[in-house]
Amino acid sequence: MKTDWDEVDLKVLKRRAADLAKPLDESDEAEELLPLLEFTLMSKRHALALERIEAVTRIGDIVSIPLTPRHISGIVRRGGKSFTLVSLRHFFNKGAEGLADADFAVIATAKDKQFAVQVEDIQGVIHVSRAELIPPPDNFDPTQAPFVSAVTTDGLVLLDLDRLVEAD
């Protein structure tokens, strides 16, 4: 024996099936992921926007340049081009002494300038949701904070290349 409730249940189930069969709206799609190059700098996780990266290379010879600021390690060559090699370790920590164990150069472009950033190790390309990026907290290292565009709750620091170039 069919009841009115059976017809209501059947209508509800048909409506749900129709709703589930519809294509997802743009707003329901997966959130936008930012491609970043993750690397180690001063034993911490850092990243740069992948769209700014031209290449990553192991540092060979560094040609020193006299009378340059301490954070300019010298010139490196790749593919017949020369790039200024910037040590963020010395840029962020003016009193840092000695050589850093930084074997890689990330060649990037900012403000129409190409240069190489000296890093310890390359972790690779990652994709981070915009929702995961938050402003640096108030207690963030004051020497780095002006050059950080965002951080994640798991400790990744996203650097702002434009601000770094402007400060140089």
Residue 116 CA to residue 125 CA, distance in Å, equals: 18
This prediction's pTM: 0.77
The answer to whether the CB of 163 falls within 8 A of the CB of 146 is yes
pLDDT tens figures, 79-101: 899 999 999 998 988 766 655 57
How far is C-alpha 22 from the chain's CA centre?
36
The answer to whether the CB of 141 falls within 8 A of the CB of 42 is no
Residues of the chain with pLDDT under 70: 1-9, 12, 24-30, 95-100, 168
